[in-house]
Each structure stands twice: as C-alpha cells, then as structure tokens.
Chains A and B, each alone.
Chain A
Amino acid sequence: MRIFRAIFAHPSGRIGGVIVGLYLIIAALGMLGLTPHNPLAQFRVDRLHAPNGAYWMGTDLFGRDVASRLMAGVGQSFTVAFFSVAFASLAGTALGLAAAWFGRRWDGVVMRVMDVLLAFPAILLALLIVAVAGPGTWTSVVAITIVYTPIFTRVVRGPALSLKAREFVDAARTFGSSSSYIVTRHLLLNLVAPLTVQVTLALAWALLTEAGLSFLGLGIQPPAASLGLMLSDSRNLMETAPWLMIFPGLAIMISILGFNLLGDALRDILDPKMRRAAA
C-alpha cells in the first residue's frame, strides 16, 4: 500500500502508474470478454471499415472490430510479457546469485552456459524453440524467457558480487548466518532496485520481441489477437487501412512509455538515497 502511495507521489510514477493501471483494466476487460464487440466476430459486410461510431478504431480484413481486438490483444500481449519476464527474472536472478555467491567453478559454469545462450542470436533461438514446440502463447513465453534469462543473470551477478563484499555481509558471517539467509536477506533484498528497473525494461522488450515473433509468424495463433500479431498483420494493409497499424502501434508505444516511467519512478522510490532525501 505504501508503495502505491509513493508511486503516486512521484511525478513520472503518477503518469506511468496511471498508464499501466489503465492497461491492466483494459487487459482485464479484454480477457473477461467485456469488449464493445466480440473480438472474434467477423462482420464481413463491414470489412476494412475506417474508424467510425460503431467501430471506434475501424475494422480489419475480416470485419472484426479493431478496438475489441485491441483490448483482447493487450491481454494476450501482457500475458506473454508478464510471464516471460517473470520466468526470466526468476531464473536469471537465481542463476546470477548462485554464480556470485558460490563463485569459482559455479560462476564459471553458469556464466559459460549463459555465454552459450547469449551467443545464440536471439531470434534464431526463438525460431528454433517455436519450430520445435509449435507456435502459440506459451511457446512465445518460453522463447522470450530463454532469450532474457542470460541478461538477468548478468544484471544480477555484477551487483551481487559487490554486495557480497559489503560489510554487512561480513557482519552476517560473523554471526554464522547461513548462506541461504545471507543470499536472500542481504543480497537479493538489495538487488530489488536494479531488478525493478530491469524488469520494466524487459517488459518493454518482451512486448517488442513478441511483435517480432509475430512478424515472422511464430507468435500467437490466429484468430486470437496480440498487439504484435495485429501490427504484423497490418503491414501490407498499411496504405489501404492505416488504422490497422496506427492503433496497435500506439498501444504498444504508450504501454512501453508507461512501463518505463513506472520503472524510473520505482528506481527512485526504492533507492534508499532518494528515500532519505525525500524524508
């Protein structure tokens, strides 16, 4: 609760929070089916209709309501983004902490494995995973997770190494604190700030990566909508029906704006320096 108040007190946090909040509402409405029209219903007489009173954002090739699909798409895209970032950050954090804490051989092995993953061209990796498992929401999640895990590992390992050398960790050792206690209470807790920033950044990337996968036909399956799929489907209709590109494009842009502003705010709020200055 306190954090919400803090976000609201922060100028960019307020804007970012409102944007992300709106998206969450839209996503919830979209997933509950509370859209102006059924996002899958094809009003084929109204194909490629420009935005008007009945269809606020126009209709697509099939006469489906773009606004409704956008709402459903936000849900889909956010699902992919949230889950993949959640998995990647969990896996990456665990691996990064393990590498930093156990050091030596562990560090070597973990970081070399991450090198293998990082060295793989991201899109190729996704392509292969998708090709093996078939496309779909969860395959996108797995693909994006694997791509971003090494990045999280790196982001965690560096600061964790320096935290490990901090005096309060030494202090903990003199009490005989267990490794797991030190890792969770002293390292992880202090990584919250960089992790928060990285998570918001990764959320933005994940949305774009999902769009990229859809562009290559490897994302979510039709007729379900995702922002990325809508965008990539619109590309050859850019001239005929520009609204098909404009609205999902704006939707992605504004959501990323929201994530980033929120991330900036969280970084400030979670920074003890800032907290001290504010107090």
Chain B
Amino acid sequence: ATLHMAWAQDATGLDPHKQTAFSSLRLLELIYEPLVRVDASLQIVPAIATSWEFSKDGKALTFKLDPKAKFQGGAAVTSADVKASFERILDEKTSAAARANFLSIASIDTPDPATVVFHLSQPDVPILTAMSDVNAAIVPASEIKAGTIGTAAIGSGPFKLDKWDPNAKEVLSANKDWAGGPTGVDGIEISVLPDETAILAALRTKQIDFALLNDPLVATLVPKEASLQLNRVPVLSYHVLQLNPSRKPMTELKVRQAISCAIDRQEVLDTASLGEGKVTGPLTIPAMATDPSQLFCYKRDVEKAKALMKEAGYADGFSATVIGATGEPPTAAAEAQVIQSQLAEIGVKLDIKMMELNVYVDAWLKGDFDMAIALNGGRADPYTMYNRYWTKAGNLQKVANYIDDTLDSQMQRGRAETDPAKRKVIFAEFEKHLAEVSPWIWLYTSYSYTAQQKNVAGFVPTPTGTLFSLGKVTIGQ
C-alpha cells in the first residue's frame, strides 16, 4: 500500500547538511540517517551506529556502525562515509547548518570500516545529541566527491526519493536495503496542500491517510471527525517574546521583569492556540524542565509589574514595536495581539508590525527590533539549544543582545559535565536565572500535530516532530 500524505509547506532543498526548514528536515529524515537518533522520550537510541561510548576524559567518542546499514544504491555505510560526512559538515565552504555544534571535533579516526573515533578538543557531551540530528546525516563519500549531495538524495533511510516536484509533490518508495526494514508501506506520496483547510477536507474525503498540521485552529477540528485521529505531542520548540535588552527601556532589568510579570502566559496560549500547548520556561526538554510555577513571575502579577515599572522610572509606561512573521508561526499575530492588550495594562504601548518571513528574519538577525514574537527551535540538549544565544561567544549573541557572566559560566559547566544528574542541576539553575533576568519572555510550547485516518497504525509522534516512524506505519483495511 502507498501512504498518501499531505503537508502545507514543502521541503526547500535536499542537502541534509544545509537544510534547516522544518519541512525539509521532516522529508530528509525519511531518506537519510544520522549516527544516532532520539526516541519519543528524547533518549539517544541507535541509528547507523549500534553503540557509542565516551572515553574517560570525555575527549574521545567511539561509534560502532551497523554492518547491515546500506545506502540506497546498495553500498554499505562505512566509517569512511562517516568521516567524509563530518569533514564536509566542518568545511566552511559547505555552509553546513550544524557546523557550530561540531567545532570541538579535532580529528576523526577510522580504525576499521565499522568503527569511527571522534577526537575532541574539549569534553563535549551535547555533541552526541547534536549527532542525532539529520543535519549530521551520514551521506555517501562517493556522492560528496561527485558533488551531487543536494541534487540526488541518496541516504540510508527507510525511503528513497523517486520524484520531487518542489511545492507540489514528492514520491517516495520503500528502501529495500534499509537496515531497519522492511517498511510497513510500499511508498509515500506527499502532496503539498498549502491551505490547511484543504488538508482537512482531503482527510475528510479519505483522499489522504496522513497529514501534518500546523495551525491549532484546524487541528482541533480533526477529533470531531469520527474516522480521523489527531496525534499531538508537545514539542521542543517554544513560543517566546524576545525583548531586546540593548534598547531602552528594556536595558532595565526591572522593566523586563515587569513585562514578564504583566504577561499571562496561559491566556496567550488559550487565545492564540485555543489552549493547545503548555506554558513553559526556557527549558522545554521534559527531562530537564523545571515546573514553570517555580520560575520568576510565572503567575501573572500586574501590581508587582506596575511597582517594578515605577521603580525603573517608567511609571507612565513607554511605547515599543513588536515584530512578527506572517504565518510563521500561524499564531504569531494572535500572540502579539494578546500581549499587546496585556501590556497595555501596565502602560506599555505596543505597535505590532507583521512582516513577510524573510523581512522578519533580516530584521531579527540584525537585532533590529524592540521586541519580537518568535517560535524558536528546540534541541534535545539544553546546551545545543541555547549556547548560540546565552554564551559570550554564541553566534546569535547579537540577536539576544544580552551578556550575563552567570549564564555563560553555567552553560560552560553544563557542556563539560558528563553526569546526567549533575547536568540537570546545573541547567535547572540556568533556567531559573534566565527566567529571572528575563531577556526574553518564554511563553509556551505547542503541540506538533499529525492527523491520520484511523486505519493507519504504528505512528509514534515525538517531541522533535520527526516522521521517522512512518517507516513502520501500516495501513489497515
């Protein structure tokens, strides 16, 4: 059987090392495999590598590869492919998206075709999680040499790409050589249906078996349909109101805190996403996250906010502009409007400026905003997730515009610590501090939705949003 699937946004490219768009990753995860993977509870599990181990000093990481792993051409996946892939990622010319996560790799050894050893310049625990990302997928060394990565998609994943008609459709067929095989369906046909109402209509008329949904307004209609099932799972990405602490008056800690106290996060969630999601602190990884009620001002307190404003010398409030991207996420405009109305109560007058995504990104990267509504991606490891913003050397430090020695040192300690329990403590402190100094106002995490016909069995939704389990999905009668 063929699984008919639909999504609203199509992949934007086929080079697993370069693509960062959500939809690209979802497609590429079906085609390519990384060394390891994270499961539904965000535990690291085998993929191409069957086992892995850090050396005592934490400066060497050894993988054993699955002897059954084969590329879609039939060639086995060897340690040479792994080495070539990582060298490609590290090569600046590649412009690999995840390069920053692998800068601690000093050298790569391939003692035999089934063994790879990464020598690290410093202890780097999060690197393992980073390797679970499809941005660290293993691609054939031969293809790298031929320069065909990104044109012909050849990976070791459960499906191979037969046809891609950008912004229209993809046709995938089962990879007979897949080490994890056999797959439950013969292939997947993905249609791009840009309008989610149309996706719902197609589900209702049973034209499609499985769909990705983005807009909670549409997703909540699915359960009303007897033959349809909605899968939802909290995700790692988080909705956030980014303040720009380099701009007056957000330079003032008290002003930022006042904003944090003035916002009713649950109400933002209830309104913009119809309550579909969970209020969150900075850490969205379930195993790491602190109960939000423990965090600074997570219970709305307008009086306190007003007091803080007064202390900061802004008793009469101030005006600022908040930017957001149209449709990215679909709830952005709604969030902005609720926040606007909430902040109005402490005298903050917000102007909303919705922008086309690229225009927004351009302004965002330049740090050219007072406040920004954003949906930032999450990672299975807090360090990977936040070092870009809150370490002094972070690549996006200019966007966060906030330098804090405490945060920086907490990040460095958490990076080097290999004991999971100790790491958890370090990051709990980090989270608490971050919420208190409030450079950003974390709001909530939403759900990732997939909708399916009830006869589709075996799909396991995960917080990373991966569709990898489609490899094992079957279609009943």
Contact = CB atoms under 8 A, between A and B. Distances in A.
Contacts of B469: none
A47 to B, nearest CB: 7
A90 interface: no
Contact of A222 (B197, B270, B333): B333
B320 to A, nearest CB: 15
Contact of A223 (B221, B326, B337): B337
Interface string B204-241: 00000000000101101100000000000000000000
Nearest to A40: B341
Interface centre among B220, B326, B341 (most CB of A within 10 A): B341
Contacts of A237: 217
Interface string B333-368: 110111011000000000011111001000000000
B340 A217 contact: no
A221 B354 contact: yes
Nearest to B328: A217
Contacts of A223: 337, 340-341, 352
A222 B220 CA distance: 24
A42 B267 CA distance: 11
A47 B271 contact: yes
A61 B215 contact: no
A240 interface: yes
Contact of A62 (B218, B337, B354): B337
A131 B196 CA distance: 24
A222 B353 CA distance: 8
Given A42-B338, A47-B271, A62-B341, A235 B354 contact: no
A42 B264 CA distance: 14
Interface residues of B, number: 27
Given A61-B271, A131-B356, A217-B356, A240 B217 contact: yes
B26 to A, nearest CB: 21
Contacts of B271: 42, 44, 47, 61-63
Nearest to A48: B274
Interface string A225-237: 0000000000111
Interface in B301-343: 326-327, 330, 333-334, 336-338, 340-341
Nearest to B326: A217
B337 A135 contact: no
Looking at chain A's contact residues, the main secondary structure is loop
Contacts of B355: 134-135
Contacts of B217: 236-237, 240
B337 A222 contact: yes
A167 interface: no
B123 to A, nearest CB: 46
B218 A44 contact: no
By size class, the interface of chain A is: 20 to 34
Contact of B352 (A221, A235, A240): A221
B379 to A, nearest CB: 29
Contacts of B356: 130-131, 217-218
Contacts of A218: 326, 356
B279 to A, nearest CB: 16
For B196, B267, B336, B355, which residue has the most chain A Cβ atoms within 10 angstroms? B355
Contacts of A134: 353, 355, 359
Given A238-B197, A239-B221, A222 B336 contact: yes
A218 B327 CA distance: 11
A188 to B, nearest CB: 40
Contact of A221 (B330, B341, B353): B353
A123 to B, nearest CB: 13
Nearest to A220: B354
A130 B356 CA distance: 9
Nearest to A238: B197
Contacts of A236: 196-197, 215, 217-218, 330
Interface in A26-53: 40, 42, 44, 47
Nearest to A223: B337
Nearest to B359: A131
Contacts of B272: 61
Contacts of B196: 236
Contacts of A216: 326
Contacts of B327: 217
A17 to B, nearest CB: 37
A240 B334 CA distance: 17
Nearest to A131: B356
Nearest to B336: A222
Given A42-B338, A134-B359, A236-B217, 12 more contacts: A44-B270, A44-B271, A61-B271, A62-B338, A62-B341, A135-B353, A135-B354, A216-B326, A235-B197, A236-B197, A238-B197, A240-B217
Q: Give the 9 A-B CB pairs with smallest separation, nearest first.
A: A217-B326, A236-B217, A42-B341, A223-B337, A222-B333, A222-B337, A236-B218, A131-B356, A222-B352
Interface of A: 40, 42, 44, 47, 61-63, 130-131, 134-135, 216-218, 221-223, 235-240
6 contacts: A44-B267, A44-B270, A47-B271, A62-B341, A131-B356, A236-B196
